[in-house]
Amino acid sequence: MTVLTCSAVLFDCDGVLVDSARIIDESWTRWALEVGVEPAAVLRALHGRRSQDTVALFVEDLVERAEALALIDAIELEDAAGTGAIPGARELLASIPEDRWAVFTSGSVPLATARLTAAGIQIPKVFITGDRVTHGKPHPEGYLAAARGLGFAPGECVVVEDAAPGIRAGREAGVRYVVGVGSHGFGDEVPDAVVADLSEMSWNGAGLSVAVGN
């Protein structure tokens, strides 16, 4: 094991704590077909972004954009019940003191709450969502807010992410380390460590232990 020394851990939600990839793809494909947009283009663009930022890429008219955003919000909430936990997520979170971890997700409060609940994961005390920030990822605002909410400087924190915009947000926030989760790639962003899932990490009191070779 190698140790990433830190005082707190800041987690993304989708793809990191909850296994929602299939549900997200199905929800956004359904949305794209209903609004007349090419589904493949939408699926390429959405990861790591807030819903409102993704919708804005494809719907220009402001009135239609608001309707399109309401539609995807409704679809995703309807589909959230099928969300499961990423392997190791519940165990890792249970081992970290409640005042040492937070979540920053591009999802809204209702959606993120629904997915975490469906996956059997507790709602954190510090819970920063896309509808609670002015700027979504890759802007660092959310991770800065999460660190501040826990009472730590960003340089005392580790960010755990699965997408390039989130990794960049963590870097720009000035966190000590960024861990990448999954195998779909991170674009031009290079995490300090990569794990298949959270079963390859543990909390040791001084930070995160990560399986050697990741």
Active site residue 61: no
pLDDT of residue 214: 47
Distances from the Cα of 116 to the Cαs of 80, 138, 192, in angstroms? 9, 22, 26
Predicted local confidence at residue 213, as pLDDT: 60
Verify whether residue 12 is a known catalytic residue. yes
Give the contacts of 44 (CB within 8 A, at least 6 positions apart): none
pLDDT of residue 116: 97
Place of tokens 């966190």: 175
Note if the pTM is more than 0.95: no
- What are the tokens at 16? 């990191």
Per-residue pLDDT of the chain (214 residues; tens, 9 = 90+): 899 999 999 999 999 999 998 998 999 999 999 999 999 999 999 887 889 999 999 999 999 999 999 999 999 999 999 899 999 999 999 999 999 999 999 989 999 999 999 999 999 999 999 999 999 999 999 999 999 999 999 999 999 999 999 999 999 999 999 999 997 778 889 999 999 999 999 999 999 999 966 4
